[in-house]
Amino acid sequence: MSALRIGTRKSPLALWQAERVKGLLAARGQAAELVRITTTGDRILDRPLAEVGGKGLFVKELEEALRDGRADLAVHSAKDVPFELPEEFGLCAFPEREDPRDALVAPRARTWERLAKGSRVGTSSLRRAAQLLSVRPDLVIVPVRGNVQTRLSKAVQGPLDAVVLALAGLRRLGLEEHVTEVLPVEVSLPAAGQGALAIEARRGSRGFSAAAPLDDAETSICVRAERALLAKLSGGCTLPLAAYAARDGAGLHLRAALGGPDGSGGVKLVRAEGRGAQPEELGAQVAAKLLAAGAGPLLEAARAQAGGLPAPKR
């Protein structure tokens, strides 16, 4: 049987993720090789993602490789995958999830509570920025782009006081030693799909069939609930939207948060949560609760302005 071709971005983290899937396939007797692709999202580093099309930029070119036959599978960070895919593609597996929480790298302050007033905190995520500013409006949020190592260096070597990154990515790259605090979900609720991998393929293809057994049932049901909430709100990385589901007895506990401008130069955060057994129904239920709590105007305001948040303080 010929080797499957796995489409992947060229960043160190993306290559780690693709190698992980390659190893999982090898354990099942299926050979695979990597096809390295540079995406638009990798090339445009001087502007926030929200201004240039969102994290779908990381997915688009990999889907082109699936479409034209250069790749049989594409491996993504699940949090980068838009809630709506082209009809010919499907997400065939979500392998076992890493810890989805956010991590603080603050070499001097060490902890979230000890960050001095006016500290410069770097993040590429509107979701993180909205949540951090809702608790600490005194902070200066600085947009940072680039691979994990580049963003990490902004705090380790300066000029920033701290950066917030996904714990999963730091662990996968062997950089967890730089983490000074794992942020509780009450401070920074993760993005939908954070810590999980998503394997995409053409429906009905050999790649789809080969990768489907790599699906982890526990990860899949949680990520599906999170993505159902995104779909209901038409949310993407251009919105400061968080969604995190975890097992709760026989069912799931789904928490969500949406940030946006409060009309006075600050940030307002709306939260909702729910419990249920059916992931798609639960996602829709919690989305409705967010809207009932006042998310509608925040959605409109966030979509109306680039980034959806007040400009960083100077």
Catalytic residues: 80
Whats the size of the chain, residue-wise? Answer: 314
When computed from its CA atoms, the radius of gyration of the chain, rounded to whole angstroms, is: 19
Distance from C-alpha of 222 to C-alpha of 219, rounded to nearest angstrom: 5
Q: Phi and psi (nearest 5°) for 303? A: -75, -25
CB 101 within 8 A of CB 183: yes
Tokens describing residue 78 = 């699940």
Which positions ≥6 away from 250 have C-beta within 8 Å? 277
Tokens describing residue 127 = 């979701």
Tokens describing residue 37 = 């692709």
Closest CA to 193 of 221, 165, 232: 221
CB 208 within 8 A of CB 74: no
Beta bridge partners of 236: none
Distance from C-alpha of 286 to C-alpha of 276, rounded to nearest angstrom: 10
